[in-house]
Amino acid sequence: MGKYFGTDGFRGEANVDLNVTHAYKVGRFLGYYYGKEHKAKIVIGKDTRRSSYMFEYSLVAGLTASGADAYLLHVTSTPSVSYVVRSEDFDCGIMISASHNPYYDNGIKVINGNGYKLESEIEDMIEEYIDKEVDDLPLATKENIGRTVDHAIGRHRYIGYLMSLATRSFKDVKVGLDCANGSASTIAKGVFDALGARTYTVNNEPDGTNINTNCGSTHIENLQKYVLENGLDIGFAYDGDADRCLAVDDKGGIMDGDKILYLCGKYMKERDELSNNTIVATVMSNLGLFKALDNDGIRYEKTTVGDKYVNECMIQNGYALGGEQSGHIIFRKHATTGDGVLTSLKIMEVMLEKKAKVSELLKDLVIYPQLLVNVKVKSKKDAKTDPDVLKAVEEITAMLGDDGRILVRESGTEPVLRVMVEAKDDETCKNSVYKVVDILKANGHAVE
């Protein structure tokens, strides 16, 4: 990770950690970098946060000042920007979003011309430019100054692409959609309506400050209640920029990314679509997922947390399916990034083709109890390498044996250390996690 760019772009509280000058300079550098040999074309999308408009205008000012043309998708999802970049020959794309974070945060995600997250070496160059006291990049003049182009048609093409992936009509299927008052509000309902579903939507009225507020994939308990109260067949919850999807089955059970990987991976194996018979997951995926995959003869690889790393592993090895417990699921045949709406369409495909409720299709997957506690710390590195913490982790690992595990890792986007334990019962999880948390507090690492 760099000074500004983490595992998922440049993110922080708007006008505190990430301000308009930062955005202007990101635009200036990208316009210059991609415009060295031709007039650069860069497409921009944004989520529904109030500050997204401010950052959009700042980025556009920087891009056009460097001579690039800025194409605006307006409110849209991160995967739609990725799709438009790779399908319409743009030099790169920019998504303005802080994903699942609160409305007052925002972020800048840069997507390269192939639809993947920007290379770290270019991020390093952007950071170097941001910190320069003197702006030494040339300014475009006369006819070389860039222009702004309305490109809402790009989002419409993406919606059409999603519709084309459905294998069956959704007629008479009762589907609930929690759009998190975010990017999915411009996409999801239209797709499901067009495919014939009886669509029920909640949190589909963004006002700039209600994105992710008690809704979406980070507060899925609301969708659970809604699915049961309305007798729905299934429900889908997205995050702020709609690159994640969690689901709720017909019985109100939560389908996190692990369950989605199992459901879709097993289906893809049956259809000979699971490349190298392998699913890519992260170290945070539940032990129950790995045991179930072993039972079904499906191989898996584990990466560090971050869909960026999942994607890298998939590309390097030609794998077709990968994702995170949080709901970033990548279907590499159809997308280069996690795509919440695409994920929900693939779950619908399994359900309809198998002619069974999702709750029935998941009966062989037993998820281990898991407890994750986030501890805000002064220094992630110092806290993680504290000898007392390391000793406690070693003791807990030995105690759990093959029936559980402990993981202590640094957040890629926040000053937080994540302590996670899986075991056969909740009490063991709780005791183990708080053994480490109490040490972090007693040794002065935690920020109250």
Specify the CATH number for the domain of residue 148.
3.40.120.10
- Going 165 to 170 to 176 to 179, the CA torsion angle's sign is positive
| Residue at a domain's end among 99, 121, 153 | 153
- Same domain flag for 124 and 186: no
Q: Which amino acid type is present at position 349?
A: E
Same domain, 180 and 116: no
CA–CA distance, 287 with 4 (Å, rounded to integer): 33
Burial of 291 (0-12, 13-18, 19+ CB in 10 A): middle
Q: Find how far residue 283's CA is from the centre of its chain.
A: 16
pTM of the model: 0.91
Amino acid present at 55: F
- DSSP state for residue 217 in the 8-state scheme: G
Asked if 395 and 294 sit in the same domain, the reply is no
The verdict on 201 and 311 lying in the same domain is yes
- Answer yes or no: do 136 and 283 share one domain: no
56, part of any domain: yes
DSSP 8-state class, residue 356: S
Identify whether 159 is part of a domain.
no
Within the chain, what is the greatest distance between any pair of CA atoms? 71
d(CA 300, CA 289): 10
Query: CB neighbours (10 Å) of residue 115?
Result: 20
* Within a domain: 158: no
Same domain, 62 and 172: no
Q: Which domain, by its residues, includes 222?
A: 165-361
Q: Is 169 a catalytic residue?
A: no
Which residues are annotated as part of the binding site for Mg(2+)? 99, 239, 241, 243
Whether 285 and 143 share a structural domain? no
DSSP per-residue letters across 406-433:
EEEEE-SSSSEEEEEEE-SSHHHHHHHH
Which of 118, 153, 188 finishes a domain? 153
Residue ending a domain, choose from 129, 153, 177: 153
Q: What is the dihedral of CA 269, 330, 86, 60, to 10 degrees?
A: 170
Structure tokens at 160: 């059409």
Which of 287, 280, 342 lies closest to 312, judged by CA? 280
Q: What is the 3-state secondary structure (H, E, C) of 192-206?
A: HHHCCCEEEEECCCC
The domain spanning residue 384 has which CATH number?
A: 3.30.310.50
CB 107 within 8 A of CB 98: yes
What is the chain's Cα-based Rg?
A: 22
Going across the sheet that includes 299-303, the strands are 299-303, 278-282, 321-323, 329-331
Determine the straight-line distance between the first and last CA of the chain, rounded to whole angstroms: 25
Q: Could you tell me if residue 189 is inside a domain?
A: yes
- Compute the half-sphere exposure of residue 373: CA atoms within 13 Å on the CB side of its CA: 18
Residue 376 lies in a domain: yes
Closest CA to 70 of 106, 102, 44: 44
Same domain, 253 and 354: yes
Task: Tally the domains of the chain.
Answer: 3
Do 169 and 52 belong to one domain?
A: no
In a domain, residue 447? The reply is no
CA-to-CA dists, residue 329 to 80, 120, 128, angstroms: 15, 22, 32
Q: Are 200 and 226 in contact (CB under 8 A)?
A: yes
In the set 52, 77, 99, 183, the catalytic residue is: 99
What's the pLDDT score for residue 90? Answer: 98
Same domain, 396 and 351: no
Q: What is the pLDDT of residue 337?
A: 94
**pLDDT tens for each residue of the chain, 448 residues long:** 678 998 789 999 999 999 999 999 999 999 999 999 999 999 999 999 999 999 999 999 999 999 999 999 999 999 999 999 999 999 999 999 999 999 999 999 999 999 999 999 999 999 999 999 999 999 999 999 999 999 999 999 999 999 999 999 999 999 999 999 999 999 999 999 999 999 999 999 999 999 999 999 999 999 999 999 999 999 999 999 999 999 999 999 999 999 999 999 999 999 999 999 999 999 989 999 999 999 999 999 999 888 889 999 999 999 999 999 999 999 999 999 999 999 999 999 999 999 999 999 999 899 999 999 999 999 999 999 999 999 999 999 999 998 899 999 988 768 899 999 999 999 999 999 999 999 999 999 998 7
- Specify if 414 maps to a domain: yes
Binding residues: 99, 239, 241, 243
- CB-neighbour burial class of residue 231 (10 A; exposed 0-12, middle 13-18, buried 19+): exposed
Question: CA-CA distance, 301 to 283, in Å (whole number)?
Answer: 9
Q: Note the pLDDT of residue 402.
A: 85
- Asked if 362 contacts 255 with a C-beta cutoff of 8 angstroms, the reply is yes
Claim to verify: residue 146 and residue 178 sit in the same structural domain: no
Asked whether 166 and 346 are in contact (CB, 8 A), the reply is: no
Q: For residue 370, count CB atoms less than 10 angstroms from its CB and return exposed for 0-12, middle for 13-18, buried for 19 or more.
A: buried
Determine, yes or no, domain membership for 160. no
Co-location of 90 and 204 in the same domain: no
CB contact set of 180 (below 8 Å; sequence gap of 6+): 203, 211, 212, 215, 216, 217, 218, 237, 238, 239, 240, 242
| Cβ–Cβ under 8 Å, residues 339 and 394 | no
